[in-house]
A and B are shown apart, each in its own frame.
Chain A
Amino acid sequence: MKKILELINIVLENRDKVKLEEISESSDLRTDCGLDSLDLAELTVRIEAEYDIDIFEEGVITTIGEILNKLDLEKTDE
């Protein structure tokens, strides 16, 4: 979760958007995290570079929890 937050904040910072303090499994990528389609595209590339998985490959993903599921990551702060 911490790594995903870090990646989301890089994307937000790149677009001069306000960084997030925290995220949760239920956080919506668009409404809660403030990511538009360009940002989501960038996020997928950054996640892919990190984990070698294209999270959007099989369809739309809307929440942080779905990303964690795709990556098979522990839903902890680590």
Chain B
Amino acid sequence: MSKTFYYDNIEGKNISYNKLLNDLSNTNSYSTYCRSNSYYSIFKHIILSLITGKEIILLDNDFSQEEIHKLIGYNKNIFDIKSIDPIGQINFNDIIDKIKLNGATCKLTLFTSGTTGMPKKISHNFDSLSRFVKKEESRKNDIWGFAYNPTHMAGLQVFFQALLNQNTIVRLFGVERVTSLNLINEFKITNISATPTFYRLLLPADHICNSVRNLTSGGEKFDFRTLKKVKQMFPKCRVRNVYASTEAGTIFASEGEEFTIKSDTSHLIKIIEDELYIHESLIGESESLVTVDGWYPTGDMISVVSENPYLFRFISRKNESINSGGYKINPSEVEDIIRSFDGVIDVYVFAKKNSILGNIICCQVVSSNKFLTEKRLRLLLKDKLQEFKIPRLITFVKSIKTSRTGKLLRKN
């Protein structure tokens, strides 16, 4: 029996590598635009793009017609499908060879998540997208829990990592908590890459998943307390943090909160007023990204821990800070404190427009502690935070909404 390529509980799909090869062989049409609610269709489309060397533009399935027109232009037809010569019989090694051959030239276009405004269009080639992807003999038995949107940078990284090593991919993104945990154990998933929010939503640690060896976190700051609980759930895993963006792909990886700059990229990174700047040579091609003298301001605020060796931590997004009555508040700081209280599973601090203060700090809390009331929480916060940072309205909710990329939604 052929190895499973992709398992999707939501779509009800269990696709083997043989089926994938067969489907690719029989394809006789191609569209530059890739928009589908089927992850398998998206994966197949990406592979087809790479083996034929044709450009692909990845669109989220939930983009509205209006958004699509704004992003790609009003005169473009996303349903424009052209006939192509069937690829014919191919094997897995042919795919890898063709991907390598077209890697430097094949254009993949995607859009930033839009958490900081209108999504921006960025084009990469396969080589820049797979900068941190490793194809090694020791990775051939890896089984991936897929916990990102496949049309976004992080999802692509996981997909390429799994595909190049001919691994099995099991969808976890959008899958309900208990089902996810059952899938992890059933498929003996070894690797998961996800946002801290995704891991938090898997808590409490009432299931133990011994198969997971490597856990990657990115997209947001991973707070120590959640990390500790996540490690109880995945006792045999090694945790790695990555810093990646749609603009630049993966740039740094670390075992803890502190990142270092490797000597081969150090000349392409600089820090101005605590903000991380990346040299334009690392950035994908885009008309909407503004660089300053060849440097792209990432909007990520960092704090330098030591100069030699050079170590730094990510503190927050530049535009994440909330201005409430003239006070600047970093929501991540407040969330970190609230998360440290007993019974708090998840928390989300956000601004609500207010006619008096401009913005007022609010928060939603998911708690398993019935004694934790708004009053009690406020009392606990008084010892930990300046008064202006304490959320003025605290509500207890069953779950917290996340963005398309699985990050917390900062806007209200």
Contact = CB atoms under 8 A, between A and B. Distances in A.
Interface of A: 13-14, 37-38, 40-42, 44-46, 49, 54, 56-57
Given A37-B325, A42-B360, A45-B360, A57 B355 contact: yes
Contact of B357 (A14, A41, A49, A57): A41
B386 to A, nearest CB: 12
Interface string B355-395: 11100101000000000000100100000000010001101
Given A13-B375, A37-B325, A38-B325, A44 B355 contact: yes
Describe A's contact surface by its main secondary structure: helix
A46 B354 CA distance: 11
B352 interface: yes
B392 A42 contact: yes
A44 B356 contact: yes
Given A54-B355, A57-B355, A45 B375 contact: no
Contacts of B362: 45
A33 to B, nearest CB: 15
Given A41-B354, A49-B395, 6 more contacts: A37-B356, A41-B360, A45-B352, A45-B362, A46-B393, A49-B393
Given A14-B378, A37-B356, A38-B357, A45 B392 contact: yes
Nearest to B390: A14
Contacts of A45: 352, 354, 360, 362, 392-393
A13 B352 CA distance: 22
A44 B325 CA distance: 14
Interface of B: 325, 352, 354-357, 360, 362, 375, 378, 388, 392-393, 395
A41 B356 contact: yes
A9 to B, nearest CB: 11
A46 B352 CA distance: 12
Contact of B354 (A13, A14, A44, A49): A44
With a 10 A CB-CB cut-off, give which of B325, B375, B388, B392 has the most chain A CB atoms.
B392
A32 to B, nearest CB: 18
Describe B's contact surface by its main secondary structure: mixed
B236 to A, nearest CB: 45
Contacts of B375: 13-14
Given A13-B375, A37-B325, A42 B355 contact: no
Contacts of A40: 356
A13 B373 CA distance: 13
A37 B392 CA distance: 12
Nearest to A40: B356
B19 to A, nearest CB: 52
Return the 8 tightest CB-CB contacts between A and B, nearest first: A56-B355, A41-B356, A42-B392, A41-B357, A45-B393, A41-B354, A41-B360, A57-B355
Contacts of A54: 355
Contacts of A56: 355-356
B325 A42 contact: no
Contacts of A49: 393, 395
B23 to A, nearest CB: 51
B358 to A, nearest CB: 9
A49 B397 CA distance: 14
Nearest to A42: B392
Nearest to A14: B378
Contacts of B355: 44, 54, 56-57
Nearest to B355: A56
A41 to B, nearest CB: 4
A41 B354 CA distance: 7
A54 B388 CA distance: 21
A36 to B, nearest CB: 10
A72 B206 CA distance: 49
Contacts of B395: 49
A55 to B, nearest CB: 8
Contacts of B356: 37, 40-41, 44, 56
Contacts of B378: 14
Contacts of B393: 42, 45-46, 49
Nearest to B352: A45
A54 B356 CA distance: 10
A44 B355 CA distance: 8
Nearest to B382: A16
Nearest to B356: A41
